[in-house]
Amino acid sequence: MMSRKLIDESREGYLENENSPFLISNYGYGKDSVKVMHVVRNGLVHTIKEFEVGTKLKLRSQKDYLEGDNSDIVATDSQKNTVYLLARKHGLKSPEEFGILLCHHFLSKYSHVEEVSIHIEEYPWSRMGFGTGPYKDLHNHAFVFTPTAIRYTDVTQKRTEIKPTVISGLTDLRVLKTTQSAFVNFVNDEYRSLPDQHDRIFSTVVRSSWQYSTVTGVDFDYCWNKVKQCILNNFAGETEKGIFSPSVQNTLYLAEKQVLETIPEISSIDMTMPNKHYFTFDFSKFPKVVNEVELKEETVYVPVDKPAGIIYAQLDRKSDQYVKSKL
């Protein structure tokens, strides 16, 4: 779905009908939810990639809107066919590379296309394996759907731009830890009912997006996995003792900071962490049924996801502070 843009008072780049008191301030069209799978059969070992692709084109003229003249329209069905044809010709590697390829194709093939926007989600297939550790035997041609997090990218390019803008991200990364999290010393006034929490369950569903400063020589698969690992490292810490979180805000910032420190190709990153609460059930009202002293190592919680606190931040490199981020 095309997002709504705020009115730009400069009207720069607008096309309008001189005989009308109105103007079209934002427009475009395309094909959504084009599902494509690419299979490589290298002897006995097979490899798969499955994407869901959305294409959007913005044409130089608006005569299709203003006059009902369809002569410049590249049909959405043709856009769908292009996805399959380019996948067959070039294969599917990373979502980012395929998005860049589609942008280049539409701009070079059709001189009246002014802007291309591509959205791609990758379906998280992993090779099926049996056994554990270094002795795990990976299957040659069987895969399992493992939606730990959903990977996506948005690639846009205007005809006047030398290179495309690539914004990648992940969604639905749900994590939880049962200790090493606190929330204390916050504003204490007449509106407060929440007590200090010195040891609590910390759970969230992470959504993050980041913008690349270059698209040349970038290993997009490595970068995506590294961002995910930075998030998990700063949430969980090392395996035995973990890492202490004084707030969601601090954990979020440390994850973003590590991303920018370790991946120089990323110029800006934003992240959202909504609270997924787990409140302790009050068993004090049921002393004849449950003895809290006897069961002190065990606790029952009530999961509550609404209403939820929402914490977010965007971290930019200071060297890029005058470059407008598109996140």
Q: What is the pLDDT of residue 305?
A: 85
Among 6-15, 16-25, 224-233, the range scoring the smallest mean pLDDT is 6-15
Residues 311 and 174 in one domain: yes
Question: Looking at the structure, do residues 155 and 169 belong to the same domain, yes or no?
Answer: no
What range does the domain containing 98 cover?
25-133+141-160
Q: Are residues 176 and 145 in the same domain?
A: no
Does residue 315 sit within a domain? yes
Whether residue 168 is found in the same domain as residue 305: yes
Phi, psi of 166 (to 5 degrees): -115, 120
Q: Which residue has the higher pLDDT, 15 or 311?
A: 311
Residue 234 burial (C-beta neighbours within 10 Å; 0-12, 13-18, 19+): buried
Asked whether residue 12 is assigned to any structural domain, the reply reads no
pTM: 0.90
Instruction: Indicate whether 118 and 180 sit together in one domain.
Output: no
Do the domain assignments include residue 13? no
Average pLDDT of the residues of the chain: 91
Task: Identify whether 277 is a catalytic site residue.
Answer: yes
218, 194: one domain: yes
Distances (CA, A) of 133 to 127, 130, 265, 311: 15, 10, 32, 37
Which segments are annotated as binding site for O2? 76, 275
CB 158 within 8 A of CB 184: no
31, 58, 228, 276: which is the annotated catalytic residue?
31
- The whole-number average pLDDT for the span 67-80 is 97
**Per-residue pLDDT, 285:** 87
C-beta of residue 69 within 8 angstroms of C-beta of residue 96: no
| Statement to judge: residues 197 and 289 lie in one domain | yes
* Residue whose tokens read 């798969």: 48
Q: Is residue 20 part of a domain?
A: no
Say if residue 148 is in the same domain as residue 177. Answer: no
Distance CA 187, CA 181 (A): 18
Catalytic annotation present for 160 = no
18 vs 271, higher pLDDT: 271
Whether residue 229 is contained in a domain is answered as: yes
Q: Domain check: are 118 and 242 in the same one?
A: no
Summarised one tens digit per residue, pLDDT across range 195-209 is 999 999 999 999 999
User: pLDDT confidence of 17, banded at 50, 70, 90?
Assistant: low
Decide if pLDDT at 3 tops 50. no
Q: Residues comprising the binding site for 5-hydroxyisourate?
A: 76-77, 183, 200, 248-249, 275
In the chain, the number of structural domains is 2
226 in any annotated domain: yes
Annotated binding site, which residues?
76-77, 183, 200, 248-249, 275
Q: Are 243 and 313 within one domain?
A: yes
Residue 11 pLDDT grade (very low, low, confident, very high; cuts 50, 70, 90): very low
Mean pLDDT of the 27-42 span: 97
Question: Per-residue pLDDT for 169 more than 80?
Answer: yes
Q: Which of 76, 165, 178, 272 is catalytic?
A: 76
124 and 197 fall within a common domain: no
Residue 107 lies in a domain: yes
- Give the mean pLDDT of 45-50: 97
Q: What is the CATH number of the domain that holds 225?
A: 3.10.270.10
Whether pLDDT at 258 is above 90: yes
To the query of whether residue 76 is one of the catalytic residues in this protein, the response is: yes
Distance CA 295, CA 314 (A): 43
Q: Is the model more confident about 285 or about 86? A: 86
Say if residue 217 is in the same domain as residue 146. no
Q: Considering the domain boundaries, does residue 1 fall inside one?
A: no
Predicted confidence band of residue 134 (pLDDT cuts 50, 70, 90): low
- Binding positions for urate are 76-77, 183, 200, 248-249, 275
> Which of 63, 104, 257, 277 is an active site residue?
277
